[in-house]
Every structure is written in C-alpha cells, then in structure tokens.
Homo-oligomer: A and B are copies of this chain.
Amino acid sequence: MGDPADSRPATRGASGRPSAARERILTAADRLFYREGIRAVGVERVIAEAQVTRVTFYRHFPAKDDLIATYLAVRSQREREALAEVRAALPGDHGGVLRAIVDALIAESRSPGFRGCPYVNAAAEYADPDHPVRHAVAEHRAWFTGQMAELMTELGHPDPDLAAEQMMMLRDGAMTAAYLDDRERIAAALVAAGRAVVGYREE
C-alpha cells in the first residue's frame, strides 16, 4: 500500500505551486454551475471553458461529484472569509456587522446574473440527503445559522436561536425573490422585515 505513483495532484503540486489548470477548472465550474445549474452542465462544457484536456481534468477531479463538492466548498470558504473580514473591521459593533451582512446580501442580489442561493439551488438538484452536495449545503447552513445566533446573542436578543432562524428565512426568501421576482423591490421589504424580526432600531 505504498502508492509510489499516485498520479493525482493536490491543490498545489508537489512542487508547492498551485496548479493553474486546476484554478481554471474551478473558475469555469463556478460560473457554469451557478449560472446554468449543476446537472445542466456537462464536464465537456467545463473542460472547454477551462481550456484543459480531459486527462488534466480527471487528474484533478476523479469524478464530476468531486468537482461539485469543491465548487461548493470554495464558495463557502469565500463567504466565511468575507464575514471574518467584516467582523475584524467592525470589532464590537454587532449592529454594524448585521447591517453589513444585509447590505452585502442586497448588493449581491442586484448583481447581474444573480440566480439565487447556490446552496439552495444545488440542494434542489440533489434529493439524496447523503449526497456530498447535501452535506456541503448542510454544513454551510449550519455555519451561517450559528454565526447569526452568535450575532443575535451579542445584540442582546432574548431568543437568539429563534431570531437566527428568522433571519435565515428572510435571507433565503430574499434571495429567492431577487431571483424570481422583481429584484429591485426586495431591499425595502428585507430591511423592514429584518427590523421587525430583530427588534433592531437604527439611531
């Protein structure tokens, strides 16, 4: 079991350099999976858009499912880093952090090509709760709900868990509305609903 010639490269090659081909694959997959849906996009499309060969593709991602899992993991990682940055920039200002989250959500919802929450969309396509996709989705949602509950606690909300769930509902609902209804009108509704739920008042 020495495996002297496992031909699969990791995130960064044995040399320590990150693989440019792998990055291109992930960039293409992110674009295509999010914009068109996961099942609607074949590996052929990803390979063409990333300008790699089939062999290179399968060396980095032994199966399409591996690419899908990585696609979701990368998105989650980006979101975690963004929130960490916001928290670092506004130490102690929990209300400011919450407002920044809402603002970011609204801005994202207005951006061209917005197609709703990538996790919710992915879960719609994968019904088996044991599929890696669903695990990635559950993990991300648990993280975000936890962050929300933490924020609610810090804001002194009497029932942080309940408030966190309500904020989650508003988040999911706002993203759905921005995708499927008039995306220009969600901002006011989201902000008003958020205030009603949290009991949060601006000065």
- Residue-wise, chain A 160-176 has the 8 Å CB interface mask toward B (1 for contact) of 00100110111111101
Q: How many copies does the complex hold?
A: 2
Q: Give complex CA distance A185, B168 in Å.
A: 13
- Binding site of A, secondary structure by majority: helix, strand, loop or mixed? helix
Nearest B residue (CB) for A195? B196
CB–CB B189/A165 < 8 A: yes
Judge whether A48 is part of the interface by a CB distance below 8 angstroms: no
CB–CB A125/B40 < 8 A: yes
CB–CB B124/A120 < 8 A: yes
CB–CB A127/B35 < 8 A: yes
Residues in chain B near residue A137, CB distance under 8 A:
180
Nearest B residue (CB) for A178? B169
Residues in chain B near residue A162, CB distance under 8 A:
188-189, 192
Nearest B residue (CB) for A174? B169
